[in-house]
Amino acid sequence: MLQRPEAGVPELSELLALPEGQVSAALDGLCDSTLLRPSREHPGTFRVIDPAVALDHALRRQEQELADRQIQLAQAKAAALRALSGYTQDTPADGTPEHPALRLVGLDAIQNQLEVLGRQVRDECLAVMPGGAQSAASLDASRPLDTDALRRGVAMRTLYQDSVRNDAPTLAYAKWLTEQGGQVRTAPLLPPRMLVFDRRIALIPLDPSNTRAGALRTEEPAVIGNLLTLFEQFWQTAVPLGTRTSGTGDGLSATERELLKLLAGGITDEGAARRLGVSLRTVRRQMASLMERLEATSRFEAGLKAARRGWL
């Protein structure tokens, strides 16, 4: 092939005094080894690949095959664990729960399950991360799982609260996620924390007010369907990371408008701070600024004036 790159199977067979079937098999072997490629310039012939390039391709292919094998092994291990866990769960009369749920108590149990699901996910991972700034431990634990999933072509969409834009570590992580191919959006308010894998498995907190207490792993279609609907509703109104969260025509920012709604609904400053993922000091500072703009001397008066202006 180096001497006669333009030669086809019949000519090579004649030159080498070998049967055409044997020549074809040899060419197939060279193509499988990435030493040959079909020529785009001369259809029906081949071009010789630089051996250094071919070696790199071969090594990459073997690495991918090894990675695929590791994923298959992880899936087999996870399937075995699910089968074993069935003996400790309540089951119907026939002994086969249709959509088993698994309670994960404690951070270690949650992290173990995240590692399993992170290796199993194939197409899509949806995440809602309320609470503003994320802990350093949470970000460190997420990075290798997100890196592996993105390298495998998994589509990742993540919702954070607007307040993460003021937290340098979380903002840096969100920017890194977008640079790797993920999508990140922010909103003033978010539903409770959730992770949905391939639209069929979800992790949700046992207690939304204390995510460290544990999580529930569920495959129940009704639950998954509702979570997906909730996610998409918030995703459509959220702002992509990198886009400035501009105020509305009345001069209110999205966060200020949500703060007014929360306080008008009777939620305390502390409760509003938790819902918005900001500090109590921030809520009180924003409320003081709103009252000043409304020229109100009390929260009640501020509510009336905000309603008259159409802010509520």
Distance CA 125, CA 147 (A): 13
Coil vs helix vs strand at 30: helix
Residue 73 maps to a domain: yes
Are 118 and 137 part of one and the same domain?
yes
**Are 60 and 112 found together in one domain?**
no
pLDDT over 80 (residue 25):
yes
> Looking at the domain assignment, is residue 296 inside a domain?
yes
Q: Please provide the DSSP assignment of 162-203 as one string.
A: GGGGG-HHHHHHHHHHHHTT-EEEEESS--S-EEEETTTEEE
**pTM metric for this prediction:** 0.54
Instruction: Please count the helices (runs of H) and the strands (runs of E) in the chain.
Output: 11, 10
Sheet holding 101-105, edge to edge: 101-105, 214-218, 201-205, 194-197, 124-129, 155-161, 183-187, 239-240
* Nearest residue to 44 via CA among 17, 12, 7: 7
Q: Residue 243: its pLDDT value, please?
A: 66
Residue 127 counted as domain residue: yes
CB 204 within 8 A of CB 129: no
Tell me the three-class secondary structure of 211-235, residue by residue.
HHHEEEEECCHHHHHHHHHHHHHHH
Spatial distance between the Cα atoms of 86 and 89, rounded to a whole number of angstroms: 5
Which CATH number belongs to the domain containing residue 150 in this structure?
Answer: 3.30.870.10
**Measuring CA to CA, which residue among 79, 146, 138 is closest to residue 118?**
146
CATH code where residue 283 lies: 1.10.10.10
CB 217 within 8 A of CB 186: no
pLDDT at position 94, please? 44
DSSP 47: E
**Better pLDDT: 178 or 77:** 178
SS3 state of residue 251 = coil
Question: Does one domain contain both 146 and 230?
Answer: yes
Say what the pLDDT of residue 90 is: 44
Query: Does some domain include residue 96?
Result: no
Please identify, among 240, 263, 286, the residue that sits at the C-terminal boundary of a domain: 240
Query: pLDDT tens digits for 230-279?
Result: 999 989 888 888 766 555 556 777 778 888 877 777 778 888 887 787 78
Q: What is the pLDDT of residues 5-24, one digit of tens each?
A: 778 888 889 999 999 889 88
Structural domains counted in the chain: 4
| Per-residue pLDDT tens over the stretch 89-105 | 444 444 444 567 888 88
Please give the biggest Cα pair distance in the chain. Answer: 101
Query: Is 188 inside any structural domain?
Result: yes
Question: Is residue 282 predicted with pLDDT exceeding 60?
Answer: yes
User: What's the confidence (pLDDT) of residue 89?
Assistant: 47
Task: Report the SS3 class of residue 1.
Answer: coil
DSSP 50: P
The answer on 235 and 182 residing in a single domain is yes
295: domain range? Answer: 254-308
SS3 37: strand
